[in-house]
Structure 1
Amino acid sequence: MGKILIIRGGALGDFILTLPAVAALRQALPPETLIEILGYEPFTSVAKACGLADNARSIEYGPLAGFFHPDAQLDPGLKNFFAGFSLIISYLHDPSGVFQTNVTQCSKALLLQGPHRPVETQPLIPAAKQLAEPLGKIGIYLESNYVNLWPKNLPERENSGISNLARKAPRVALHPGSGSPRKNWSWESWLEVVKGIQKVHPKMELLVTSGEAEMERIEKFYELLSLSSIPFQPLANQSLAVAAKKIGECDLYLGNDSGISHLAAATGVPAIVLFGPSEPKVWAPQNPGTVILQSPDKTMAGIESAAVLQNALVLLQNEILPSC
């Protein structure tokens, strides 16, 4: 098979959930097969860093919009671009089929249409499995509902040669936000958990990550931590490769249902991810070592701090002994 193009829009979590399908392609096809992703640059850089994609191109390239209009004058460069592939898998929302029609006019590639968004209908199927369904048409099936983005080609760990066991004091990463306020646990609840961990591990190192979704609010959380005399290191608006590296160096990750939580789980770090309105059987990371805590009433306020703290201490006990 010649070159393969995967077209993926959506948010970070959607992208990470599509990577098991990319990994299945990579594993099933000859090593010389080139895989390219047309997507958002911050996301595609992760796929390239871990070796799942050979090349990437920005989906935000202006002339691409013409492919969504019937009878449009298509960009010659993009026509040549699409013509260079033998297989194209698109996850774009294309209900009228205009994009697919325009692509097939300039490319002889086999074009497979994947789901724009996984569904939550019964029976509940993990999103990664739903997103991999188009591969069945070419005889490739998903063997795993998750990917491991660490440590293949991501930057090296920076533990200064000190093992987790020798350090004794745990490193904890916390991403207290998400792309939706409905998916956010309260700052006060996260603070209660952090205090509980610090009580058992006084030398705990806390990394607080944030992105664009938290820019206007994260300072308030910093203030709460400072008022509680909890030392922390902020990590704001860094590249996803840097965020993955820093989180992957930690002993525990804590977060809401968010794209960063999917990224964290994919690094292999033990993780606790909180779910409220979303269906975790569909949307939760499937990575081993990831604990999913779902609110009984589908609201984030329904999650008890004691349950989160208990699970956090158990995971840390497995990572660093004895307590310090």
Structure 2
Amino acid sequence: MELLIIRPGALGDTLLMLPVLAELKGKATIHFVGRQPGLAHMRDAVYHTMDLERAGWHRLFSDQSCFSGPPSLPVPRADRVIAFFKDENGTIGQNLKRFFPKALVRVFPSFPPRGEKIHVVRYLAGCLESAGLPINSDGVMDNAGRHPLICGPWGSKHRNRIVFHPGSGNTEKNHPPDFWLDIIHECMEIKRVSRLKPTLLLGPAEASLRNFFSRHKDLSTRMEIFFCPEKESLLRVLGSAALYLGHDSGITHLSGLMGTPTVALFKHTDPVQWGPVGSRVRIIHGRKTDRELIKRITAAVNTL
């Protein structure tokens, strides 16, 4: 069966598709269309990946009367087409049926309804199951938690880092930098953690934090800072981590899927829907930045 799945999204959104694709591996020839940077992590789970931003995919959103000749997309054929979009006027669904007239075509919303207490992974699996694909939506989460879904040569037998990622792409998700200073100091006081190399991971959204943390000499002399690492460097850092702490972010999802012991701090979003997937993930949900939250975080660190 030639299966085309289209689900563009940010890094974390795309990574939450990985447990579903892993369940389908070997049951269909999967062509997956998404966006970078998450797309790069899908390749081992599918036959072929394609970037929605590349030439040809704009036709999916266009009035077909604008084009001459037979309708076409950069995929030669498909038996089933599953797309995840907000398609209120039905344009995307109609176009897909024109492009693949012999295929079963289903278009689903990208995310579960707001407030519905279902994890995004289970929702995605349920959509595919309702479209007749051979997947058990009830078992996907359990299976994803049994072993790492992102593996490679980056892992180290000697995990000697504790990685802190004090940002995300949405400031509403983030605790303030001063709070992160307290977290770092408290964690480094834990005996088994004190032997680890403190490592700060900063992305484009955290550019301003680089100077903030560098000003604290008690940390900057010990701490290694990675700013906007490219994919392989990022994977090596996470693969050498004995522990990772971060907000609800794409990198936190990546850490969990790699099997790195992960403490995920949720402030604004609902972990029931968006919690990272992995066998060694602890989620701390709390909006109030106070000593009690730090105690919960250090307790989670001690259990991993």
* Both proteins in one fold, TM over 0.5: yes
**Shorter chain as normaliser: what TM range?**
0.7 to 0.9
1:43, CA displacement in angstroms?
A: 1.2
2:35 is aligned with what amino acid? Answer: Y
Q: What is aligned with 1:286?
A: 277
Report if the CA contact (8 A) 2:35-2:51 is conserved: yes
Structure 1 residue 52 displacement after superposition? 0.4
Structure 1 pair 212/303, CA: closer, same or farther in 2 (3 Å)?
Answer: farther
Pairing 1:250–2:246 present: no
* Cα drift, residue 64 of structure 1: 2.5
**Structure 1 alignment gaps of length 5 or more:** 165-169, 316-324
* Aligned partners of 2:259 and 2:280 also within 8 Å: yes
Which amino acid letter does the alignment assign opposite residue 288 of structure 1?
S
**Match of 1:101?**
94
Distance change (3 Å), C-alpha of 1:311 and 1:99: same
2:179 aligned residue: 189
Cα contact 1:67–1:74 (8 A) shared by 2: no
> How far did residue 267 of structure 1 move?
0.6
Q: State the number of aligned residues.
A: 294
**What is the CA-CA distance between 1:203 and the residue it aligns to?**
3.5
Match of 1:54 among 28, 47, 51: 47
Alpha-carbon offset, residue 81 of structure 1: 2.8
Q: Are residues 1:144 and 2:133 paired?
A: no
Distance 1:303 1:56 in 2: 44
Q: CA distance change for structure 1 residues 225 and 305 in 2, over 3 Å: closer, same or farther?
A: farther
Alpha-carbon distance, 1:235 to partner: 2.2
Matches within 5 A, 1:54-203: 54-61=47-54, 63-74=56-67, 79-107=72-100, 108-122=102-116, 124-136=117-129, 137-138=131-132, 139-142=134-137, 143-145=139-141, 146=144, 148-151=148-151, 154-159=152-157, 163-164=158-159, 170-199=160-189, 200=191, 201-203=193-195
The corresponding residue for 1:312 is 301
Deviations 1:176-228 (Å, cap 9, x if unpaired)? Answer: 1011111111212222122123233443202221222223x131343244354
The corresponding residue for 2:200 is 208
Cα distance, 1:286–1:62 mapped onto 2, change above 3 Å? same
Q: Which residues of structure 2 form unaligned runs of 5+?
A: none
Identity %: 24
Q: Distance in 1 between matches of 2:52 and 2:68?
A: 14
Deviations 1:144-171 (A, max 9, x none): 22463332xx234345xxx45xxxxx41
**CA RMSD after TM alignment:** 2.5
After TM superposition, the score normalised by the length of structure 1 is 0.81
Q: Offset at 1:46?
A: 0.7
In 2 relative to 1, CA 233–41 (structure 1 residues): closer, same or farther, beyond 3 Å?
same
Structure 2 counterpart SS, 1:135: helix
**TM-fit CA distance, 1:117:** 1.8
Task: Tell me which residue corresponds to 1:18.
Answer: 17
